[in-house]
Amino acid sequence: MADEDKKKMGQIIRQARKNLKMTQKQLGIEIGYSEASAERIIQHWEAGSQPVPLEQLKPLAKILKTTIENLLP
Superfamily of domain covering 3-71? lambda repressor-like DNA-binding domains (1.10.260.40)
24-31 and 54-63 helices cross at what angle (nearest 10)?
A: 120
pLDDT at res. 24: 97
- Inter-residue contact 60 to 70 (CB < 8 Å): no
The tens digit of pLDDT for each residue in 19-71 reads 999 999 999 999 999 999 999 999 999 999 999 999 999 999 999 999 999 99
- Tell me how far apart the alpha carbons of residues 70 and 54 are, in angstroms, rounded to a whole number: 15
Confidence of residue 18 (pLDDT cuts 50, 70, 90): very high
Q: Is the pLDDT of residue 73 over 90?
A: no
- Phi, psi (5° rounding) for residue 45? -65, -45
Residue 57 identity (one-letter amino acid): L
| Cα atoms found within 13 Å of the Cα of residue 67, Cβ hemisphere only | 2
Q: What is the pTM of this model?
A: 0.92
pLDDT at res. 65: 96
